[in-house]
Amino acid sequence: MAVESGHSPFTTHEVFNQAVPLQNHNPYLLDPALREGVARGNGQWHEDALTAFGETTGRPDVIELGFLANKNRPELKTHDRFGHRIDEVAFHPAYHELMRLGVEAGMHSLPWNEPRPGAHVARAAIHYLLDQVEAGVGCPITMTFAVVPALRLQPDVADEWVPRVTSRQYDPRMRPAPEKAGCMMGMAMTEKQGGSDVRANTTQAVAIGAGGPGQEYFLTGHKWFCSAPMCDAFLTLAQTESGLSCFIVPRWLPDGTRNRFAIQRLKDKLGNHANASSEIEYQQTWARMVGEEGRGVPTIIEMVNHTRLDCVIGSSALMRQAVTQALHHATYRSAFGKLLKDQPLMQNVLADLALESEAATTLMMRLAQLYDEAAADESVRSTTRILTAVSKYWVCKRGPGAVYEALECLGGAGYVEEGILPRVYREIPLASIWEGSGNVMCLDVLRAMAREPETIPALKTELMKAAGADKHYDRALQRLQDELTDMNDLQTRARRLVEQMALLLQACQLLQHAPSAVSETFCRARLGGEGGMEFGTLPPDAPMHALLERAYAPCAG
């Protein structure tokens, strides 16, 4: 039989049993743990803005920006076409649009521009929502946010730079700071030979004049990791005669010429592809000292503590994105005669993932609330310090496993780059490595216990808020108290000790604020030994339906 050219009488197959795209939804309105945390943390004054921002981050065109920014990676341009050294990085327009969304929403500045109860909480929610679209822009925005407390240690520098970095206008132009509508701030601490051991840094600082806080220096040396090298200025560490000191290094000199800031290469990273990370060299690079000479680590730690908060926010956000994708897929996909969400084994996996995600989000919101409280009450700083280190260790550690399990819920489709989960899976280990890997965070907890006697009483006060609410919680709390009476082999036991703290902190928040289906199941599975080593091992009588209904409602568009 003759067949007309270009036409076929046969249809190979019909496309069916597929999920619709997860878009045209509002991730803020669909996340009860997040919304409740905002209200509990006095952030409800920002509710309308958060609802609008959630609407924006669920739009298809905004979701597509994350894919475009990752597909079109940053490109290093060391010289212009005439041979002049410029050391610039070119980004795709999608990256700049995402940056604009974050800056205009106040992700980098809300607590500094509106220092009122709930400002850190509201700002955490903004970060949480944007990271679910694309976490690569989180790095420069986080550093710009986190630098303000460190800059304020040097009032003359703060007077110049804080208004620039708290501006809600995004200005990506490579121009001297006074000519820009707003500036971004980066950080460059680690060197090849030292890594986390910044006291091993060899970069040298030589005073141009008298030297000292606020004075001018020339820096010579290298930095192994300088993230977001297109920022307008950077906090960095260098050695003086008095020891490791903190400096601000602008990309432009006061006379309007370029500072000596040589980008050697961009890092070829596992993930975080939309963001540029680099190796740089200082060659008689102009800088000003921030804080006391020889006190570089205590000065820059003011910045680091806030970046660690954002690591917890970012991990929680990526976990939530992955779990939402898995729940969405299971709501539309059938297998073996039933929807995946109605299969008992899949229900257990999804419910366990939802439990993990809510525990992370709830702890993250409590941590942000503590930053608000610490701004008004110095006595809260001990609680904030230890909760930051414990939360950063645990939430960032749990993230990759949860994202992987969520990816597996989609089967082969979850492994394909057309979806968002491969990108999330590559991205999420970064938060555990950045600003102190797991061991560094555990050592920080031990250091706080040794140097700040009020730290452990502050932790116990926090945990006692849920005492008596659950038998598994009470037993676990007693086990932790017993562990804390033993000062032997603390480094060897540090991970176990911090893990116990973290689980109790999550349970404490859930027992106080989450529905009983969530809090009781968490305590049984995570503290009471009724859960297994992998996700999907909740006890058979756990309230699966209640956990799933709380975590997800169909939101196709």
Q: How far apart are CA 358 and CA 311, in angstroms?
A: 16
Residues 156 and 204 in one domain: no
Give pTM, 2 decimals.
0.95
* Residues contacting 355, CB < 8 A, separation 6+: 518, 521, 522, 525, 538, 547
Q: What is the mean pLDDT of residues 247-251?
A: 98
Q: At residue 4, does pLDDT exceed 90? A: no
Q: How far apart are CA 299 and CA 499, in angstroms?
A: 28
**Vertex 170: Cα angle to 166 and 172 (nearest 5):** 120
SS3 for 253-301, per residue? CCCCCECCEEEEEECCCCCCCCCCEEEEEEEEEEEEEECCCCCHHHHHH
Domain end, chosen from 165, 191, 224, is at 165
Closest residue by Cα to residue 400 from 440, 377, 432, 369: 432
Domain membership of residue 21 (yes or no) is no
Q: Which two structure tokens, joined as six digits, stand for 368? A: 């942000």
Residues 190 and 111 in one domain: no
CB neighbours of residue 415 within 10 Å: 13
**Number of independent structural domains in the chain:** 3
User: Picking from 48-52, 265-269, 484-488, which range would have the lowest pLDDT averaged per residue?
Assistant: 484-488
Domain end, chosen from 262, 296, 330, is at 296
**% pLDDT > 90, the chain:** 90
Residues 402 and 497 in one domain: yes
Domain end, chosen from 296, 312, 341, is at 296
Per residue in 193-208, pLDDT tens? 888 888 889 999 999 9
Helix (H) or strand (E) holding 482: helix 471-484
Q: At residue 17, does pLDDT exceed 70? A: yes
Per residue in 174-229, pLDDT tens? 999 999 999 999 999 999 988 888 888 999 999 999 999 999 999 999 999 998 99
Residues 479 and 536 in one domain: yes
Q: What is the mean pLDDT of residues 136-159?
A: 97
Domain membership of residue 422 (yes or no) is yes
Domain membership of residue 384 (yes or no) is yes
Q: How far apart are CA 222 and CA 218, in angstroms?
A: 13
Q: How confident is the model at residue 8 (pLDDT cuts 50, 70, 90)?
A: low
**Amino acid identity, position 70:** N
Q: What is the mean pLDDT of residues 314-318?
A: 98
Residues 349 and 456 in one domain: yes
Domain membership of residue 19 (yes or no) is no
Q: Which two structure tokens, joined as six digits, stand for 467? A: 């005492």
Q: How confident is the model at residue 373 (pLDDT cuts 50, 70, 90)?
A: very high
Q: At residue 1, does pLDDT exceed 50? A: no
Residues 483 and 361 in one domain: yes
Q: How far apart are CA 204 and CA 508, in angstroms?
A: 47
Residues 49 and 68 in one domain: yes
Residue 414 is classified by DSSP as G
Q: How far apart are CA 204 and CA 287, in angstroms?
A: 12
Q: Tell me, what CATH number does 322's domain have?
A: 1.20.140.10
Q: How far apart are CA 36 and CA 43, in angstroms?
A: 10
Residues 351 and 496 in one domain: yes
Q: What is the mean pLDDT of residues 16-31?
A: 93
- Alpha helices by DSSP H, listed for 41-192, are 47-57, 60-71, 93-104, 110-113, 119-131, 138-151, 155-165
- Evaluate whether 293 touches 212 at the Cβ level (below 8 Å): yes
Residues 304 and 275 in one domain: no
Domain membership of residue 189 (yes or no) is yes
Q: At residue 492, does pLDDT exceed 90? A: yes
**The predicted structure's pLDDT at residue 557:** 39
Domain membership of residue 418 (yes or no) is yes
**Amino acid identity, position 289:** M
Q: How far apart are CA 49 and CA 57, in angstroms?
A: 12
**The predicted structure's pLDDT at residue 6:** 59
- Evaluate whether 259 touches 286 at the Cβ level (below 8 Å): yes
Q: Tell me, what CATH number does 222's domain have?
A: 2.40.110.20
User: Picking from 350-359, 459-468, 487-496, 546-555, which range would have the lowest pLDDT averaged per residue?
Assistant: 546-555
Residues 268 and 305 in one domain: no
* Residues contacting 414, CB < 8 A, separation 6+: 325, 329, 406, 407, 408, 421, 422
Q: What is the mean pLDDT of residues 113-127?
A: 97
Residues 420 and 320 in one domain: yes
End-to-end CA distance of the chain: 44
What's the whole-number average pLDDT of the chain?
Answer: 95
Residues 317 and 448 in one domain: yes
Residue numbers of the domain that contains 274? 178-296
Domain membership of residue 16 (yes or no) is no
| 440 class by beta-carbon count within 10 Å (0-12 exposed, 13-18 middle, 19+ buried) | middle
Domain membership of residue 101 (yes or no) is yes
